[in-house]
Structure 1
Amino acid sequence: MNAVEIEQAITDLAAQPFDPAEFPYAFLEAFGNKATTIKRLRAGASNKSDLGGVLQTSNIHILSCEAGQVTQTLAALKASPATAKGKAKFILATDGTDFEAEDLTSGETVACAYPDFPDHFGFFLPLAGISTVRQISENAFDIRATSRLNRLYVELLKDNPAWGTAERRHDMNHFMARLIFCFFAEDTGIFGGKGKFTETVAQMSARDASNTHEVISTLFLAMNTPREERAAAHLPRWANSDDFPYVNGGLFSGSMDVPTFSKIARTYLLHVGGLDWTRINPDIFGSMIQALAEDEERGELGMHYTSVPNILKVLNPLFLDDLRAKLEEAGDNPRILLNLRKRMARIRVFDPACGSGNFLVIAYKEMRAIEAEINQRRNERDRRSDIPLTNFRGIELRDFPAEIARLALVIAEYQCDVLYRGQKLALAEFLPLSHDNWITCGNALRLDWLSICPPTGTGVKVQADDLFETPLDQAEINFQNEGGETYICGNPPYLGSQWRNDSQQDDMDAVFSNETKTYKDLDYVAAWYLQAARYCSTENADFALVATKTICQGIQVAMLWPLILGRGMTIFFAHRSFTWGNLAKDKAGVTCVIVGVSKRNIRPKRIFEGETIKEADNIGPYLIDMPNVIVQKQALRSDALPIMDYGNKPSDGGNLIFEDRESVDIFLQKHPEATHLIRRYVGSQEFVRSTARHCLWIEEEDLDLAMSIPPIAERLARVRALRMASKGKQSNDNAKTPHRFVYTPHRDGSALVVPRVTSENRPYLPCGFVDVGTVVADTAAVAYDAPTWMLAIVASRLHQQWIATVCVRLRTDYRYSNTLGWNTFPVPTLTEKNKADLTRCAEDILLAREHHFPATIAELYAPDKMPADLRAAHARNDEVLERIYIGRRFKNDTERLEKLFELYTKMTAETKPASKTRRGKPQ
């Protein structure tokens, strides 16, 4: 269950008659507990309560009590030995009239009337396994409002199916935006009285809802009619009042058509209006409400929450930290404070993938807070803000989120005015809304950003009529930012190359094709990075965008970053990998990075990693303190370390392969003379999971024998036909030798095998030795006749981090490469003692694995199940190897990478790229 579904279940529970015996089970069921779990609790099998209540281990202790005994019961629950023994995180007591609960971890409490406990559902979200930030618990209203609006939206589409079509979807979305404004306005004093809009709809519409749409349409018309024109509009008395002022801004202009309401839809409307909309938080509300309009997203309603702390990871180092520092430096100096206020009035914040406006709203509110402090220090508390909404610009592909973004900013402006200037002044200046439109609806990768957010207030090329009716355009605005700064921010869509549709691929072509031919494998988000770099390289602007970490790893670095850094840009801050999560239960968030880029030489440069901040001389494209060096493929190593190749490639359509041992045994029973023609065949899967495949391996001297065996001759004939029909040159060239693999680096003898694809969740790269005669498939890398100490290097944390950083990613997996991973990996000159020490470490690792036979590599290296002795063997190996590098263990992975890149920079400076190439095409 997601947060919205839980809220609905809790609301439904509170509306039912209170049943003391059933309440604990119903409460747990509302938070997603399965029927089998509830059944076991009822039966007492898992109920550990010592007070006659319900205690779910490691979760909650609930007790229904006699009237008036709630506080005493909560104290008893807290003192209960069973509560402590069962490691309960929450305690809850209720008598059906009052409701009290406590989070035993944080000490926070809830005390309210029983019917109001759904208002606090966010307090209990951890019961559903939803890891949530504090803002959600404190702003649970936004989820409640989203849930109610969703039920209304779905019901209206059920009654008005035409409004769900592409032709009318904009009308439906615009109608919902109007409703949201009305609910906010009626509870915040913008309309004549609290709840006035909802109350009027309830009074003037029939109970059967037959005229509900007409009542709402009339109210919309009133809000679109100036006072001096109302007499001519012939509005009824109940609508023609000061309770419903002229709103303007295009929100109520155009069609007054309203979808028809069923009795159920009318009830939902009144329920939505019954909420306290003074509690709306535009920071997060928009990102959830936009899912209403998307059929594919509505199933995950409430999960689309972008946390304020994550947004501030972008905005703070981009420009807010600097503004706060300047405020601190200004002290109470009125002149310096005035200059800072003037500077802020000219700052533009531009989000070219703004969605429902989260980044813009947070930026606006944070800047208003700084401005309010300036005004307070200058004794100008009632001063009207100098920060115009029109300086917060965005581009959004879909029209409904674009409307919600504008609405969220309008609401944020009003809330800030109330907070910093008082409600009287806020109301006096709020209406009518301005026609200025600062959010463009369109494709950001096909629009000219300079026309959307120009370097001065004039010259805006794209024009439109008003604020809320601009599905494709934007108004001409003479905003006051001459000589000001522009900051580009946001969280554009990520989309790896395999997930893009044709239109999105065309977008990539439009952005990259004039600059480079190597961009097909870039993530979609890279297009925003290049567009932002183009903008910032010519204007007084910096940018910081969220992206998947893959744009700073592997081959994407070489594709993207020369195009950015080559424009004279530098990375001035970076957040290394972190999770950009959501509200979905047990749903992993995307692992992201944030990169801040400027053409100015901003100091200090900062690298954020978790809670730590490191100042850097330079931040390279791999997001560590290093020069702007990009790792390139090398055909051979530049030192004397062993050669790593990739395995033997069959290109046979499966005809040279036996998929299981049983098929080999059946074949050899009929043709025992072929025994020495069949060898064990090991690729990534076989090595990691200890499964067995075999292959035909036919040397030239055995070809006549092979051809004399009919099943083999038939297989070879099929290989020949397949290679002749292939479009690949390598297969064509080897059609005349169907008995041989098309690429055969194989040598008899032991070989070190490294799977070419492995999960990033494994603590170390899986690798190991295979027996003499085993044929290694091209799904693995291989080093023939490798010394034992080579395993100690490949299986180290150092090498894993290098591969994770410089090699290609296959979704979230590492893709091992001999030319990009092994051949570039810096290794200090090893003494004989070093090699002897590493040999012992490698042997310890192999012995630890052997101790757990028949456990597979996959089982041994599962992150949470790695045996202690194997983990200890790897730790010893890491220590020995790292002491060779720096004389001690590295503190963390960042320090490991910094040292490796330092050595790589020296290595590439001292040697020329190898011109000699090996047979076949290296990977």
Structure 2
Amino acid sequence: MNAVEIEDAVSNLVQQPFDAAEFPYLFLAAFDNKETTLKRLRKGETNASDVPGGVLQRSNIHIAVCAPGSVTATLKALRDSPKTASAKAKFILATDGVTVEAEELASGEVIAADYADLPLHFGLFLPLAGISAVKEIKNNPIDVKATGRLNKLYVELLKDNPDWSQPARRHDMNHFMARLIFCFFAEKTGIFYPEGGFSATVARMSEASSANTHEVISTLFRAMNTKTADQAQAGLPGWATVLPYVNGGLFSGSTDVPRFSKLARSYLAHVGGLDWKAINPDIFGSMIQAVADDDERGALGMHYTSVPNILKVLNPLFLDDLRSQLDAAGDNARMLLNLRKRMAKIRVFDPACGSGNFLVIAYKQMRAIEAEINRRRGESSLRTEIPLTNFRGIELRDFPAEIARLALIIAEFQCDVLYRGQKEALSEFLPLDAMNWITCGNALRLDWLSICPPTGTGVKFAAEDLFHTPLSQAQIDFENEGGETYVCGNPPYQGSREQLPEQKEDLAQIFEGRAPSWKTLDYVAGWFMKAAEYGRHTDAVAAFVTTNSICQGQQVPLLWPLVFKTGHQIAFAHTSFKWSNLASHNAGVTVAIVGISRTPKPLRKLYSLSADGSVAIKVANHINAYLVPADDFMITPRTETLAELFEMNYGNYPGDGNHLTLYSKERAEILLRRPDLSKLIRPVYGAQEFIKGLSRYCLWIDDHDLSLAESDPEIARRIASVYTNRTTSRDKSLNKLAIRSHQYRDRNIAIRHSILVPTVSSERRDFIPVDLKPASAVTTNQAFALYDAPLWNMALIASRLHLVWIASVCGKLKTDFRYSNTLGWNTFPVPKLTEQHKADLTRCAENILLAREAHFPATIADLYDPEAMPEDLRRAHDENDELLERIYIGRRFKNDTERLEKLFELYTKMTATQPPIKKKGRKAV
């Protein structure tokens, strides 16, 4: 479930007759608890409550239904209950069906409300569904409620009007929804007078059967597109002229309206009854966007972009500077005036604006600063000097582009009401301006200079229809000489494997002929390159939310030299963090924020999350493409280790069509009839086998044992199948291997033991999985192996230091760590280790292995689940990290940013002063 569905479920719950016995289970069901979970609670199997009438779900909530009038006392009993603490409940809730009281125990936040108003507080309980509670939703749930109600209306209308769901009419449908949103907002905020004029008129003039509802709404739309003086001549009925002339293109063009069923008419009334004046345009737009997208409607609420995350981009980009100037100005009237004039010329440009979140938040933040300037100057009633048209955007799809414009219009009105008063805001709001400042088109194909020119005027076209603009639409004509431009946004991320053919072509237009292997770049790389080219002709500073993969691994030497060649440097950055959404149990995508400028400040800020979730700020002279405070350089693969480490080999590639591979049952069948063949069968390990504990085997046949192997018909059949597979393959190298079809292509094997590392492993783990296997084990090409290496090498691989190095220089496959021996192990910088260091590290590796063994038969996947890692194993790893980090700097590192900084510093010194280190260990045979 997502936030929209949860709000709807809670609303439905309070509308039903109150059932004291069932309430706790119905409440938990509304927050996505499965029926099997609820069944166990009902039976008492998992209900740990010690309060009469209570239901306690471990690690979640303690609920009690009580007698009338005893809600407060019952909540206290829940709070004081020993079981509440021992079961680690996050919330307590008491209700008698008339009132409800609840508390979030960690924060102490309390609600006390009528039972019927429980849906207004659903945001507090989102963690029950695995969703991080979001301040904006907790404080203002109307956005989620409105999205859910609009979605029901939208789906019902498409059901009644299937032709409107077709591509030819989808734009009309989306445009109709934009008009409705404006009407609902306008009638609740006094823009339409009397309040509720639109909904009341539709209810009064449309038939109960809903047969003429579409005609009534269409007539009202025509009235809002007709000047008051012309309404009588236009033949509009008197009942329609209750609504004012709106203009601005919102109601121009076709006034067709889809037909309404009785149910759709009922949904319309429900939507109109919401408190639209409380709508928050910061986040509302992105949620409405999902309503009109077939692929996204099933995930309503997942497009929520939180204000704090957006401010991670906007604050260091320019808002922090504006606030510091405001602080410096104090009450100096001249300095305040200069700052206000500066702000009036600032342009914010989002070339992937979606439904306008970044632009709206930037606008509202700037209006707040301007309002404070006016207050200090004694000019609070002044009309704003910050024009909406300075907030430019490009969006590929037409509906989000319309919603972006609408969200900015709503934001402007709300700011006018807040800072100047309702009367002044209303007097200047209508009619809407017909100027257009959001472009609908492909940002990677359009010329950004024509859309947001550095100085002077933009290209001027007719823009009669603000909400029906073509691809080659108009840009407004405005003078902005000397203004600053800030480029920002959250462009689409698609990795190289997820890109559509047309997206590949977009990147080809930018990178072909400029970067080898450009096809491996993430889609977001196109925005960075376009921003860098744009910045060559302007003084613009750009910052984007991006997949952290473009600052990791092999994408770094592909993209960043091109960006730096334009004269740009990294001005500030925020290292990896989760950009989570409102989907249940959704971890969100891991992102970074990178700001680039041709004129960065001498000291740059690098933001990163500390272990306790707080943001640490590192001030540096330079930030490189790996988002480390160090000089620019690109780490490339090495064939030999940089430090005195043992050789790491790629695992054995079978090239056998799986015919030499045996599962446990197949192995058992062979050995049951031929125990003498046991020496031909060895356990085999790739990433999945040793992480998940899977059992798999292979036939490992030396040449002198071939006759013995072929004496078994089943093994002989398998060898023959390998021969066929190799001789018919298009791979010429496999053709050559047909002469030894009884063997893997590669034959690397240990004498004493092997240290194994998977090629890919989950980013959720705090450590890279590494394991010790006996000499009999065979490693596949899904893992790397150090054959017969001393155990202290394992301690290095198991460290936090090595994980952050691999995450930075090797990159990821989707969201998983992608290991590389040549790029990750061979480049890993390690100080010269003494024999005592090696002995101590060996002991740490042994302690890790012993801690694992104590939890047999738990698998690596079980043991390294970050939420269930055994304490003794975590302690063993902590001791390993303590020892290793003291070898590096004499103490523990504060965070991963400091770890990387030291590693890069050491790497620079070692590559500058040392020749390549000769391989250690033996060449396996």
| TM-score (normalizing by structure 2) | 0.93
Q: Cα offset for 1:379?
A: 1.9
Gaps of at least 5 residues in structure 2 are: 610-614
* Equivalent position of 2:341 in the other structure: 342
- 1:332-731 equivalence runs, <5 A: 332-460=331-459, 464-610=463-609, 611-655=615-659, 657-667=660-670, 676-702=679-705, 714-731=717-734
1:815 to 799, 808, 818: 818
Q: Cα offset for 1:512?
A: 1.7
DSSP-derived class of the 2:328 partner: helix
- Choose 688-697 or 151-160, whichever is displaced more: 688-697
Q: Is 2:123–2:134's contact at 8 Å kept on the other side of the alignment?
A: no
- Choose 469-478 or 715-724, whichever is displaced more: 715-724
Q: Cα offset for 1:185?
A: 0.8
Q: Is 2:643–2:829's contact at 8 Å kept on the other side of the alignment?
A: no
Aligned-pair Cα RMSD in Å: 2.9
Q: Cα offset for 1:159?
A: 1.3
Distance 1:682 1:633 in 2: 25
- 1:91-110 equivalence runs, <5 A: 92=93, 100-110=101-111
- Label 1:686 to 1:65 Cα distance change in 2 as closer, same or farther (>3 A): closer
- Choose 725-734 or 617-626, whichever is displaced more: 725-734
- 1:140-219 equivalence runs, <5 A: 140-219=141-220
- Label 1:322 to 1:717 Cα distance change in 2 as closer, same or farther (>3 A): same
- Label 1:652 to 1:27 Cα distance change in 2 as closer, same or farther (>3 A): closer
Q: Cα offset for 1:713?
A: 5.3
Cα offsets for 1:119-149 (capped at 9, x unmatched): 3333443444432121111110111111111
* Equivalent position of 1:881 in the other structure: 884
Q: Is 2:75–2:102's contact at 8 Å kept on the other side of the alignment?
A: no
Between the two proteins, the alignment pairs up a number of residues equal to 914
- Label 1:289 to 1:919 Cα distance change in 2 as closer, same or farther (>3 A): farther
Distance 2:658 2:675 in 1: 22
Q: Cα offset for 1:50?
A: 3.8
Distance 1:374 1:20 in 2: 55
* Equivalent position of 2:326 in the other structure: 327
Q: Is 1:759–1:812's contact at 8 Å kept on the other side of the alignment?
A: yes
Distance 2:205 2:782 in 1: 72
- Label 1:723 to 1:466 Cα distance change in 2 as closer, same or farther (>3 A): same
Q: Cα offset for 1:469?
A: 0.9
Distance 2:233 2:77 in 1: 71
Cα offsets for 1:340-389 (capped at 9, x unmatched): 11111111111111111100000000011111111122222121111111
Q: Cα offset for 1:194?
A: 0.9
Q: Cα offset for 1:44?
A: 6.3
Cα offsets for 1:56-86 (capped at 9, x unmatched): 56514343543xx3xx532443255764643
Identity, in percent, stands at 61
DSSP-derived class of the 1:734 partner: helix
Gaps of at least 5 residues in structure 1 are: none
Write the letter of the residue equivalent to 1:231: A
Cα offsets for 1:472-496 (capped at 9, x unmatched): 2432312232121111111111122
Q: Is 2:638–2:823's contact at 8 Å kept on the other side of the alignment?
A: yes
Distance 1:425 1:688 in 2: 66
* Equivalent position of 2:14 in the other structure: 14
Cα offsets for 1:541-576 (capped at 9, x unmatched): 111111122221212222222221222211121111
- Label 1:673 to 1:534 Cα distance change in 2 as closer, same or farther (>3 A): same
Distance 2:127 2:672 in 1: 61
Q: Is 1:659–1:692's contact at 8 Å kept on the other side of the alignment?
A: no
Q: Is 1:3–1:302's contact at 8 Å kept on the other side of the alignment?
A: yes
Q: Cα offset for 1:291?
A: 0.8
- Label 1:98 to 1:858 Cα distance change in 2 as closer, same or farther (>3 A): closer
Write the letter of the residue equivalent to 2:72: L
DSSP-derived class of the 2:785 partner: strand
DSSP-derived class of the 1:419 partner: helix
- Label 1:731 to 1:429 Cα distance change in 2 as closer, same or farther (>3 A): same
- Choose 767-776 or 153-162, whichever is displaced more: 767-776
Q: Does 1:86 align with 2:88?
A: no
* Equivalent position of 1:74 in the other structure: 72
Q: Cα offset for 1:230?
A: 1.7
- Label 1:143 to 1:739 Cα distance change in 2 as closer, same or farther (>3 A): same
DSSP-derived class of the 1:232 partner: coil
* Equivalent position of 2:804 in the other structure: 801
* Equivalent position of 1:231 in the other structure: 232
Q: Cα offset for 1:902?
A: 0.6
Q: Cα offset for 1:894?
A: 2.1
- Choose 10-19 or 333-342, whichever is displaced more: 10-19
Q: Cα offset for 1:832?
A: 2.4
Cα offsets for 1:685-721 (capped at 9, x unmatched): 3333444433344445555666677655554444344
Q: Cα offset for 1:760?
A: 2.4
- Label 1:479 to 1:678 Cα distance change in 2 as closer, same or farther (>3 A): same
- Label 1:39 to 1:527 Cα distance change in 2 as closer, same or farther (>3 A): same
1:904 to 891, 903, 907: 907
* Equivalent position of 2:2 in the other structure: 2
Q: Cα offset for 1:670?
A: 6.1
Q: Cα offset for 1:634?
A: 0.3
Distance 1:743 1:127 in 2: 51
Q: Cα offset for 1:829?
A: 1.7
Q: Does 1:830 align with 2:833?
A: yes
DSSP-derived class of the 1:596 partner: strand
- Label 1:880 to 1:54 Cα distance change in 2 as closer, same or farther (>3 A): closer
- Choose 211-220 or 724-733, whichever is displaced more: 724-733
Write the letter of the residue equivalent to 1:599: R
Q: Is 1:648–1:777's contact at 8 Å kept on the other side of the alignment?
A: yes
Q: Cα offset for 1:331?
A: 1.5
Distance 1:528 1:646 in 2: 36
Distance 1:317 1:98 in 2: 45
Write the letter of the residue equivalent to 1:15: Q
- Label 1:377 to 1:38 Cα distance change in 2 as closer, same or farther (>3 A): same
Q: Is 1:689–1:857's contact at 8 Å kept on the other side of the alignment?
A: yes
Write the letter of the residue equivalent to 2:65: L
Q: Is 1:23–1:64's contact at 8 Å kept on the other side of the alignment?
A: no
Q: Cα offset for 1:392?
A: 0.6
DSSP-derived class of the 1:630 partner: coil
Write the letter of the residue equivalent to 2:175: H
Distance 2:109 2:815 in 1: 38
Q: Is 2:75–2:101's contact at 8 Å kept on the other side of the alignment?
A: no
Q: Cα offset for 1:747?
A: 5.5
Q: Cα offset for 1:49?
A: 6.0
Q: Is 1:555–1:807's contact at 8 Å kept on the other side of the alignment?
A: yes
DSSP-derived class of the 2:238 partner: coil
| TM-score (normalizing by structure 1) | 0.93
Distance 1:668 1:99 in 2: 67
- Choose 863-872 or 374-383, whichever is displaced more: 863-872
Q: Cα offset for 1:189?
A: 1.2
- Choose 95-104 or 419-428, whichever is displaced more: 95-104
Distance 2:790 2:443 in 1: 54
Q: Is 1:187–1:276's contact at 8 Å kept on the other side of the alignment?
A: yes
* Equivalent position of 1:63 in the other structure: 65
Q: Is 1:48–1:82's contact at 8 Å kept on the other side of the alignment?
A: no
DSSP-derived class of the 1:653 partner: coil
Q: Cα offset for 1:250?
A: 0.6
Write the letter of the residue equivalent to 1:215: V
Distance 2:855 2:101 in 1: 52
Cα offsets for 1:716-752 (capped at 9, x unmatched): 4443443343333432443444344334444644332
* Equivalent position of 1:222 in the other structure: 223
Cα offsets for 1:183-211 (capped at 9, x unmatched): 11111111111111111111111111111
Distance 2:764 2:828 in 1: 21
